[in-house]
Amino acid sequence: MIQRLFLMAGSFLMIGLQPACSQQPSSTTAEGNAPTTMVEDLTLADFYAQWKDSGATLVDVRSPEEYGAGHAAQALNINFFDNDFAAQAAAKLDKDAPVYIYCASGNRSGKAKKLLAEAGFKEVYNLTGAGYQQWAAAGYPVE
């Protein structure tokens, strides 16, 4: 009887943990081994602090018109709305190096992070809950 209770409790515990484990964002290698892609959403302060001394590429995924009106200093522009966004990113960026992406509000960059992960980028950091206007208002470097 006691063994049956422990077995049932263990089963419920395993079932309860399964959804939490399956919600972890990751991709796997061709062999199906350990995760190879890290995708992380960061607040404005954390995004800037992590990027500023990293030497990593900063990508503005807004339109060329938006980018031309002002953008974060050192940011490269790859328009999320271009049909070949992922192909452009693959041609211009190193998939093995960290990439920091932002847009106007976090919407486009949130979608772009998924495309970059699917394209095989190893580290993608997304500015969430903010965008270029908040970057500029915070006094971070702009061009």
Nearest to 143 by CA among 57, 88, 74: 74
∠ at Cα 12 (9, 17), nearest 5°?
125
- List the beta bridge partners of residue 123: 38
Q: Tokens for 67? A: 């980018």
Q: How far apart are CA 115 and CA 107, in angstroms?
A: 13
Active site residue 21: no
CA atoms within 13 A on the CB side of 129: 8
Q: How far apart are CA 32 and CA 48, in angstroms?
A: 33
Q: How far apart are CA 114 and CA 97, in angstroms?
A: 16
Residue of 58, 59, 89, 103 marked catalytic: 103
The residues that are catalytic are 103
